[in-house]
Amino acid sequence: MVKSHRFSRLITPYLFLIPAIVIFLGLMVVPMARALLLSLVKWDGIQEPAFVGLSNYRNLLDDRVFLLATMNTLYFIVIMVIFQSTVPLLVAVLLNSGIKGGTFFRTVYFMPVIISLAITGMLWSMIYEPNFGVINETLRSIGLGGLARFWLADKYTLIPSLAVVSIWQSLGFYMVIYFAGLQNIPQELIEAAKIDGAGPATRLLKITIPLLRPVITVVVVLNTINSIKVFDHIWVMTAGGPNNQSTTFATYLYQVAFGAMGSSNSQLGYASAIGVVIFVATFVLSVILVKYGQIEETEY
């Protein structure tokens, strides 16, 4: 009786893990290994693949569109990490300072998060529309017609306009995360600071932010990963265009693999190489950010 019990205790955990391990191996590890192998071939998906070694990667370095995608992806990372890490924090602090109806505000701010990024993109496409869209129409009706732009075509407004969509959609998400983090800050510290005469700005900078460091790290890492993999709304709004001006790692990969709107020149090997680059970039950045976030633990 006792022996079978001990055996049961030893074996059972692994039994519990079997479904996850099967899924994990079959639907994650194997595809990833396959992606690596695929990046070493030239293949259109139909004929026989041809082994080409590292030439896909070499071609990437010469690929002007890939270079553009890299620049755009970096641009996105910078904008999104800055705005999607700071603004939500300020909003969370605002709500935490005891405004009446805080829960109502929180509920509303969170609403865009539950809408798919694809639908959000389609919605904002209409809003940005140069001739009849709400933004330009409003500008014209208040006499600021000169500020109206081809938001999704003009070189300078293209990426920021796309970024705004992401910021609008995800604000509530990161705000809620920060809000929870704020709840964990002991009230006594804030009170002590107030007594010492620290104003709200000082309290924010010297106490709140340092104490929120782990949460901020999580948010920044999430933002970075999301900026690299962002696809849905860009694809829906511009498909990487016009003329590849808004292409990113994710949209370029898709374009190369499946063609924008069914073109026939599939390059699965080349696209897989881009996929490997995406993976490496994400991994490296995440590791750097997590390490950076762990230095200097605050003590209080």
Partner 1 sequence: MMELTRTQVVASDRIDRRRKVTRLTGSVAKYAAAVLLLLITIFPLAWMILTSVKNQREVFTTLLPKTLDFSNYQRVWLVMNFPRQFMNSVFVTAMTVLIVVSVATLTGYAFGRLEFRGRDTLFFIFIGMMMIPPQVILIPMFIFLRDLNLLNSLPGLSLSYLGGSLPFAIFLMRAFFKTLPSELADSARIDGCSEWRVFWSVYLPLARPGIAAITIFQFMGTWNEFMFATTFISRPELKTIQPALYTAVGRYATDWTALSSGLIMSIFPIIVVYILLQSQFIKGLTAGAVKG
251-270 residues in contact with partner 1 (CB under 8 A) are 253-254, 257-258, 268
Tell me which stretch binds partner 1 (CB under 8 A): 13-21, 74-82, 189-197, 202-210. Answer: 13-21
Q: How far is the CB of 51 from partner 1 (least distance, A)?
A: 16
Q: How far is the CB of 206 from partner 1 (least distance, A)?
A: 19
Q: Which amino acid is at 93?
A: V
Residues 90-109, one symbol each (x = binds partner 1 by CB under 8 A, - = not), give: -x--xx-x-xx----xxxxx
Q: Spell out the residues 6+ positions from residue 270 whose beta carbon is closer than 8 angstroms to its own.
A: 42, 56, 59, 60, 256
- Contact (Cβ atoms closer than 8 angstroms) between residue 276 and residue 36: yes
Q: How far is the CB of 231 from partner 1 (least distance, A)?
A: 5
Of residues 107 and 243, the one with the C-beta less far from partner 1? 107
Binding to partner 1 in span 30-49, by CB under 8 A: 30-32, 34-35, 38, 45
Q: How far is the CB of 207 from partner 1 (least distance, A)?
A: 18
* DSSP-assigned states of every residue in 189-242: HHHHHHHTT--HHHHIIIIIHHHTHHHHHHHHHHHHHHHHH--HHHHHHTTT-S
Question: How many residues line the site for partner 1 (CB under 8 A)?
Answer: 89
Of residues 28 and 192, the one with the C-beta less far from partner 1? 28
* DSSP-assigned states of every residue in 254-288: HHHHH-TTS-S---HHHHHHHHHHHHHHHHHHHHH
Of residues 89 and 171, the one with the C-beta less far from partner 1? 171
Q: Is residue 52 a contact residue for partner 1 (CB under 8 A)?
A: no
Phi-psi region of 129 (alpha: psi -120 to 50; beta: other; left: phi over 0): beta
Interface pick for partner 1 out of 66, 161, 278, 293 (rule CB under 8 A): 278
Of residues 10 and 295, the one with the C-beta less far from partner 1? 10
Residue 60, token pair as written in the block:
């990437």
39, 79, 7: which is closest to 226 by C-alpha? 79
SS3 (DSSP) at 51: strand
Of residues 40 and 176, the one with the C-beta less far from partner 1? 176
C-alpha 170/C-alpha 112 separation (Å) is: 7
Taking the alpha carbons of 173, 174, 177, 183 in that order, is the dihedral positive or negative? Answer: negative
Residue 15, token pair as written in the block:
């039994």
Interface pick for partner 1 out of 67, 71, 111, 144 (rule CB under 8 A): 111
Binding to partner 1 in span 134-163, by CB under 8 A: 134, 137
C-alpha 229/C-alpha 240 separation (Å) is: 14
Q: How far is the CB of 241 from partner 1 (least distance, A)?
A: 15
Binding to partner 1 in span 223-242, by CB under 8 A: 225, 228-229, 231-232, 235-236
Of residues 155 and 214, the one with the C-beta less far from partner 1? 214
